[in-house]
Each structure stands twice: as structure tokens, then as C-alpha cells.
């Protein structure tokens, strides 16, 4: 299969963004009446990724004690995205960060004149949120989230950013050929786990499981990076 190799000179930044992929990530939060939401984020690097970043830092002459995941810098960038009231991210260590994200209305999150990837409907009896992500919408969503995110994903040749058609295995083989199989294995194992609380008990859910007012999700990060199939998550309450 032929792929287009873009921005390959940004190797170091690509590896930095890979570190965000190869990490333990936990998101917890709540959706309020009216569609406002608050999220708490915690993420930390896996050992192989941290070791690779440290080796690259030594190669480029950067200090070994520099922060790998710059929480405040990422927070400032994300705060400019549509639908976000505020972002506060801080480092709990050179390889870990946590913080809070406040969203004015989930339906407005990363929305544009061309459309929304989150549909929020509020009713007296039933309200719902539907999240859809596919190869057509993902590049535009990424561009609105953060320029750093867009640049790192492009440098890493992630299909979700470049609009390439690849299978999960093809993408992992590509990463392995550039960064090594251990790092590809970390990406394959990385997951996003989260628990979101809603104003009323959950009536129906797609893509996760529910208990009372809480919906729980366990999403392989590789599914998002490749989007071999469109992703759809739905909760009604």
C-alpha cells in the first residue's frame, strides 16, 4: 500500500505526540441540564514511551529534567477551541498531567459552520447525546482542537489526521517501522476510559455500558487514530 509521507522532518514532535497516544488516560465528568459539561482528565506516559523521549532529548541536547507533557501549554491551546469555557492542565510530573475542562454546551464542542460531531437534544421526557466520528469529519475536528495536536498527528502520519485509508494493522506496522515494535505495541494497548454522569438515569446507551445515571466507556485509542470504521456513541436519559 502506498502512503503519503508528510512533515517527516518533524520527527521529534511526532514522537512527543506518540507519547500522548501511549499513555494511561482517564476522563471523568458530568453533563448538566442545558448541555454544559465538566471533565476531569488524568494522563501519564507508559515506560517505553518515556524512555524513548528521554533518549531523543539527550540526542537533541535538551535537559533531562524538562517536562515531556507540557500541561499549561496544551491547556492554553485547547482553551481556544469552540465550545470550551476554560481549560486548566498542570503537570503532576515530567511524564504526567491532569486538569479540568469546562464545556459551555456539548453540542457546540469543536463545532463549525459545516457541522457538528456531537448532537445534543434536550427534552422534557428524554434527552440525548450522539457522538459520531469518521474519516471525513476527523481532520477538521483535529484542526480546531489544537495546532499542536494537528501538527503532531500529521508528522506521525496518523490516518485520522491525514485522511489516509489504512487498517489498524497497517498503521501499527507503519509505526513499528519508524519507531520500533515496542512503541507500536503500546499504542495498540492504549485505551481511553471514562465515566460520565447525566442529570437523570440512563435509558439507553450505544458504545458503552450504564448504571443508574452513569455511563462508562472503554475505547481503544487505535480505533480513533485509524477510524477503520466510523465510531458512534449514544446516550439517552
Whether 104 shows a pLDDT value over 80: the answer reads yes
Average pLDDT of the chain is 79
Helices 147-155 and 71-78: crossing angle in degrees, nearest 10, is 110
What pLDDT is recorded for position 224? 84
HSE-up of residue 225 (Cα within 13 Å, Cβ side): 30
What pLDDT is recorded for position 173? 94
Return the C-alpha cell found at 11: 520527527
Whether 71 shows a pLDDT value over 90: the answer reads no
| Section 180-196 average pLDDT | 86
Dihedral sign, Cα of residue 206, residue 210, residue 213, residue 219: negative
Report the DSSP pairing between strands 96-103 and 37-45: antiparallel
What pLDDT is recorded for position 6? 37
DSSP letter at 106 equals G
CA 15 to each of CA 21, 121, 168, 180, 233: distance values in angstroms, whole numbers, following the listed order: 10, 39, 19, 11, 29
What pLDDT is recorded for position 20? 46
More confident residue, 147 or 22: 147
Q: Which of 222, 111, 110 is nearest to 172 (CA)?
A: 222
Q: Which of 56-60, 179-183, 195-199 has the highest mean pLDDT?
A: 195-199
The size of the chain, in residues, is 237
Whether 121 shows a pLDDT value over 80: the answer reads yes
Residue 166 burial (CB < 10 Å; 0-12/13-18/19+)?
buried
| Section 100-121 average pLDDT | 84
More confident residue, 32 or 64: 32
| Section 206-220 average pLDDT | 94
Name the residue ranges covered by the structural domains of the chain.
11-236
Amino acid at each position: 500500500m502506498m502512503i503519503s509521507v508528510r512533515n517527516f522532518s518533524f520527527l521529534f514532535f511526532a514522537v512527543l505526540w506518540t507519547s500522548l497516544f501511549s499513555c494511561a488516560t482517564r476522563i471523568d465528568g458530568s453533563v448538566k441540564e442545558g448541555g454544559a459539561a465538566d471533565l476531569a482528565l488524568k494522563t501519564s506516559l507508559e515506560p517505553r514511551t518515556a524512555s524513548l523521549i528521554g533518549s531523543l532529548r539527550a540526542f537533541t541536547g535538551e535537559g533531562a529534567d524538562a517536562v515531556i507533557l507540557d500541561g499549561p501549554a496544551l491547556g492554553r491551546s485547547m482553551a481556544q477551541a469552540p465550545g470550551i469555557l476554560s481549560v486548566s492542565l498542570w503537570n503532576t510530573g515530567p511524564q504526567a498531567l491532569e486538569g479540568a475542562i469546562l464545556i459551555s454546551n456539548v453540542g457546540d464542542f469543536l463545532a463549525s459552520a459545516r457541522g457538528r460531531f456531537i448532537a445534543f437534544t434536550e427534552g422534557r421526557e428524554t434527552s440525548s447525546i450522539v457522538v459520531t466520528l469518521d474519516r471525513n469529519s476527523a481532520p477538521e475536528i483535529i484542526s480546531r482542537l489544537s495546532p499542536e495536536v494537528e501538527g503532531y498527528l500529521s508528522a506521525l502520519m496518523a490516518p485520522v489526521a491525514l485522511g489516509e485509508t489504512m487498517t489498524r494493522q497497517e498503521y501499527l506496522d507503519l509505526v513499528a517501522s519508524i519507531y520500533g515494535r515496542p512503541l507500536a505495541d503500546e499504542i495498540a494497548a492504549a485505551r481511553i476510559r471514562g465515566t460520565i454522569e447525566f442529570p437523570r438515569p440512563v435509558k439507553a446507551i450505544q458504545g458503552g455500558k450504564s448504571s443508574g445515571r452513569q455511563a462508562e466507556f472503554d475505547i481503544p485509542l487505535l480505533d480513533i487514530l485509524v477510524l477503520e470504521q466510523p465510531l458512534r456513541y449514544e446516550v439517552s436519559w
